[in-house]
């Protein structure tokens, strides 16, 4: 039932983003009771019957073909992340692969983190749990080693931790990216009780999360730039790259860098001198379930 609700809400939200003029359709007669494309307009664009689209939107088409899903995705102008999420919701047998019970980071990857003395870097896994980190990451974001394992979660920190929240002057973009990544995990592992608990906690305590979750944003972590307002060195911008690990598909490595010789690079060098007394050289956490 939750999957059907998610599929219905996602498709309705995507339809509401578009106007007939956006997709080359006339506005049509009469005033629209709800924003966006009507179901019959979407069905026309996708080349399927209105009845079939209604059953799809209501989650009553378990045998829907990938071709139909791709046609609907194209009609809705979904990006690659949103298209994959639609397939996960509509084809649950593909999405319900069991996640491994424990999230561990192999020794070679921890060594790689240790070999980046001035670049903040960390590994996060399912539910955005922080699994490993280096000292510059602690200096930039928070001392992960000092936190209980349950609180080492990037989404929880960004949305609920007051100190971490103040790091990001561009809150809208950071929250949107965070919630968008959690959406992908929710589509990939719909039976993850820990993820459901996290979403419930964030929904209860964060208005920002509730607002962005209702938008059904879907976005994977890739690369870009991020603004920081750090209590030690002030405001600066870093580039980041997020790499998917081929032998651990649920784990991602994020590394922040700055162009050499810039003020941001100077700030990273200052932060690299920060050494918490109890933090290991390259942290590691093993998280069950």
How far apart are alpha carbons 184 and 180 in whole angstroms?
A: 7
Which of 63, 95, 127 is at the close of a domain? 95
Residues 72 and 144 in one domain: no
pLDDT reported for residue 31: 62
Same domain for 244 and 131: yes
Query: Reduced to 3 states, what is the DSSP secondary structure of residue 205?
Result: helix
| Cα separation, 289 vs 287, whole angstroms | 7
Number of domains observed in the structure of the chain: 2
Residues 62 and 121 in one domain: no
d(CA 282, CA 82) in angstroms, rounded, equals: 34
> 182 and 121, same structural domain?
yes
Last residue of a domain, one of 95, 122, 155: 95
- Of 78, 95, 112, the position where a domain reaches its end is 95
Task: Indicate whether 59 and 123 sit together in one domain.
Answer: no
Identify whether residues 188 and 221 lie together within a single domain.
yes
pLDDT for res 278: 37
Exposed/middle/buried for 62, CB within 10 Å: 0-12, 13-18, 19+?
A: exposed
176 & 262 share domain? yes
Q: Does 56 share its domain with 149?
A: no
Position 94 scores a pLDDT of 46
Same domain, 141 and 63: no
pLDDT of residue 64: 85
Dist. CA 259–CA 200, nearest whole Å: 40
Owning domain of residue 69: 2-95
CATH number at residue 173: 3.30.450.180
Check whether residue 259 and residue 164 sit in a common domain. Answer: yes
- pTM (2 decimals)? 0.82
Q: pLDDT tens digits, the chain, 289 residues: what are they?
A: 477 788 888 898 888 888 877 777 776 666 666 678 888 888 888 898 898 888 888 887 778 888 889 998 898 899 888 898 888 888 765 444 555 567 889 899 999 998 998 899 999 999 999 999 999 999 999 999 999 988 999 999 999 999 999 999 999 999 999 999 999 998 888 888 899 999 999 999 999 999 999 999 898 888 999 999 999 999 999 999 999 988 888 899 999 999 999 999 999 999 988 765 433 344 555 454 4
Whether residue 175 sits in one domain with residue 91: no
Provide CB contacts within 8 A for 11, sequence distance 6+. Answer: 56, 57, 72, 76, 86
Say whether both 190 and 223 belong to one domain. yes
Can you give the CATH number for the domain in which 64 is found?
1.10.260.40
For residue 245, the number of C-alpha atoms closer than 13 Å in the C-beta half-sphere is: 18
- Which residue has 């510059």 as its token pair? 136
Place of tokens 């996708």: 46
């Amino acid at each position: 039932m939750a999957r059907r609700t998610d599929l219905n809400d996602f498709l309705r939200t995507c339809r509401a983003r578009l106007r007939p003029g956006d997709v080359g359709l006339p506005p049509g007669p009469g005033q629209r009771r709800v924003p966006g494309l009507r179901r019959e307009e979407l069905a026309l664009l996708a080349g399927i019957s209105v009845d079939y689209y209604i059953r799809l939107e209501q989650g009553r088409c378990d045998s829907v073909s990938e071709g139909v899903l791709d046609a609907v995705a194209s009609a809705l102008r979904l990006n690659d992340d949103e298209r994959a999420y639609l397939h996960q919701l509509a084809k649950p047998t593909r999405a319900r692969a069991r996640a491994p019970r424990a999230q561990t980071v192999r020794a070679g990857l921890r060594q790689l983190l240790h070999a980046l003395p001035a670049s903040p870097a960390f590994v996060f896994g399912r539910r955005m749990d922080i699994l490993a980190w280096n000292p510059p990451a602690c200096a930039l974001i928070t001392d992960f080693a000092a936190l209980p394992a349950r609180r080492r979660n990037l989404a929880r920190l960004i949305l609920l931790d007051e100190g971490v929240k103040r790091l990001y002057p561009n809150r809208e973009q950071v929250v949107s990216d965070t919630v968008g990544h959690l959406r992908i995990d929710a589509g990939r592992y719909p039976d993850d009780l820990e993820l459901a608990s996290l979403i419930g906690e964030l929904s209860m305590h964060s208005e920002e999360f509730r607002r962005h979750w209702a938008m059904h944003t879907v976005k994977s972590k890739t690369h870009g730039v991020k603004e920081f307002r750090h209590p030690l060195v002030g405001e600066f911008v870093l580039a980041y790259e997020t790499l998917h690990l081929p032998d651990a598909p649920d784990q991602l490595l994020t590394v922040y860098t700055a162009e050499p010789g810039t003020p941001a690079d100077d700030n990273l060098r200052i932060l690299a001198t920060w050494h918490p007394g109890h933090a290991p050289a390259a942290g590691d956490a093993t998280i069950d379930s």
